[in-house]
A = this chain, B = another copy of it.
């Protein structure tokens, strides 16, 4: 590769809001999205919430000339909703489905049925290895009482770990997606600190779009105004993040987002705003890795550790509650058998038998689900604990009294 090597990468990201029967004007929006992508001819278009595989197939057909490579990430019952269209051939594909993703009985939220995941595509561009990741994390339905917080933090950690372990030989790492987290949220900090990814919005000198880079704004008439009530100006939950790993540097020349309407005004393409980034990759003298034992990482790891602890306590409470319901249900069944045998209130007993069996089975399912949830959260907590231990060793404690104080309580907890 020549020393003056330089590569320009134009990237598009959009949460398409493509829920069949629910999302308004879906087919019209998909059609316009296809037209727009064809016209703009990005290097890479990463989409979320393309829930219908038929929509993907239509887009694939429409875009086949401009974007010869395409991939849909299948997972869960409904799907991951993730897909990618690329001008360049895809060398390798892998995906990771998040272990924890909400609760099956929260049917009206539906995240559990989706199989939320992160997809990785490896590209070779002029001798450079690009790892492009696309993801969509669990939605936040209430910021005041967010029952999914522990799951989202666990997902952010799994995402960070997946990127960390699969990108070791990549020259450039790109992550696009709907993280369902505000920029300063715990999961977002955890992801950035552990992977070293940079936020295109914060890095670029040339941003065109809403103030603060908001990607869900009340000006977009598809957005539920009620959901945005606590944030009257909007929220930023969609991201373009990147880093160059070694021998290269990457910068964001420009970042553009739609502003509550379509890219050329008119009706919006989705309830989210689209992000369009122009990235520039250049050769660079070997960069120093960030020093081991970084204070912000340690602090965010500790915070995540605590948050997961609360999630574990909650999961264990539900498992114990379900266990008690099973106990009471079984006692009732014995009582009903007794009533039938004694020929007392026989009809009522027979009538109550089946609902009671249903109760025991239902409570059994809840027990198993929350046991598995607690185990999944414990697993993430153990991994965080291990990293905390390693960071602590890497840090020269004696020269950092502040850090020693911060880590004091962690010492006997780590493995």
* Chain A residues close to B by CB (< 8 Å): 69-77, 79, 90-97, 99, 113, 115, 120, 161-162, 164-166, 168-169, 347, 350-351, 354-355, 357-358, 368, 371-372, 375-376, 378-379, 382-383, 386, 390, 415
Contact = CB atoms under 8 A, between A and B. Distances in A.
A125 to B, nearest CB: 16
Contacts of A169: 168-169
Contacts of A99: 75, 97
A375 B92 contact: no
Given A351-B351, A358-B354, A415-B70, A161 B77 contact: no
A64 B60 CA distance: 56
Contacts of A75: 99, 375-376, 379
A74 B120 contact: no
A368 B93 CA distance: 26
A71 B389 CA distance: 13
A165 B94 CA distance: 8
Contacts of A168: 166, 168-169
Contacts of A166: 165-166, 168
A381 to B, nearest CB: 9
B165 A74 contact: no
A90 B382 CA distance: 13
A74 B354 contact: no
22 contacts: A69-B415, A70-B415, A71-B382, A71-B415, A74-B378, A74-B382, A75-B375, A77-B368, A77-B371, A77-B375, A91-B390, A92-B164, A92-B386, A93-B382, A94-B161, A94-B162, A94-B383, A95-B379, A120-B165, A169-B169, A350-B351, A354-B355
A357 B358 CA distance: 10
Nearest to A161: B94
A364 to B, nearest CB: 11
Contact of A379 (B74, B91, B372, B378): B74
A275 to B, nearest CB: 26
A168 B246 CA distance: 15
B372 A115 contact: yes
Contacts of A165: 92, 94, 120, 165-166
A18 to B, nearest CB: 17
A88 B268 CA distance: 56
Nearest to A60: B415
A89 to B, nearest CB: 8
A74 B375 CA distance: 6
Contact of A375 (B79, B90, B358): B79
Nearest to A122: B165
A112 to B, nearest CB: 10
A211 to B, nearest CB: 39
A78 to B, nearest CB: 9
A318 to B, nearest CB: 14
Given A74-B376, A75-B379, A96 B96 contact: yes
A71 B387 CA distance: 13
Contacts of A386: 71, 90, 92-93
Contacts of A73: 379
Contacts of A90: 386
Contacts of A371: 77
A166 to B, nearest CB: 5
A349 to B, nearest CB: 12
